[in-house]
Amino acid sequence: MTGKLLVILVTSLLIFSCGEDSVKKLKQIKPETLVEVKNGIFYEWYPGKKQIKYKGGQDEQKKRNGIWTFYAENGTELSVTYYEHGLKQGFSIVKYPTGVIHYKGEYHKDQMVGEWTTYNQRGEVETIKDFGSPKQ
């Protein structure tokens, strides 16, 4: 009987100590920080922090300001858009995952203006649409 009790005691001790190590390891794992702002530049990464997802400037109110770039998980640049104090203002290009331009055009105070061109995946023009002059 004493032998069985000793085996049970040793087994329980091993299970308890292993469980405690697992709990300690879980407590040491910190949530991954995927967003960071350095010197007025906003960065967001994909999980694992090996590839950037978004990069762009911010104004004093933390609104998008300047060039903003969006990347695929493999690092391919998918879009570039210019912002002024949170509003799309200026040129914008959106690409297919292959890097070929999908469409491009300009914004004025978040409104599409002028000619916008859409391309197929071979880079050939599909449509051109004129959104006219900016509305004041």
Q: Which residues of the chain have pLDDT under 50?
A: none
Q: What confidence score (pLDDT) does residue 5 get? A: 60
Q: What confidence score (pLDDT) does residue 135 get? A: 79
Domain ranges of the chain: 1-30, 35-130
**Helix, strand or coil, per DSSP, at residue 40:** coil
Q: What confidence score (pLDDT) does residue 30 get? A: 73
Beta strand segments in the chain, E = 35-38, 41-45, 52-58, 64-71, 77-84, 87-95, 101-108, 111-119, 125-130
Using the structure block, give the residue that is written with the tokens 């493999």: 74
Q: What confidence score (pLDDT) does residue 109 get? A: 96
Gap between the Cα atoms of 77 and 5, Å rounded: 65
Q: Which fold has domain 35-130?
A: 2.20.110
Q: What confidence score (pLDDT) does residue 13 get? A: 56
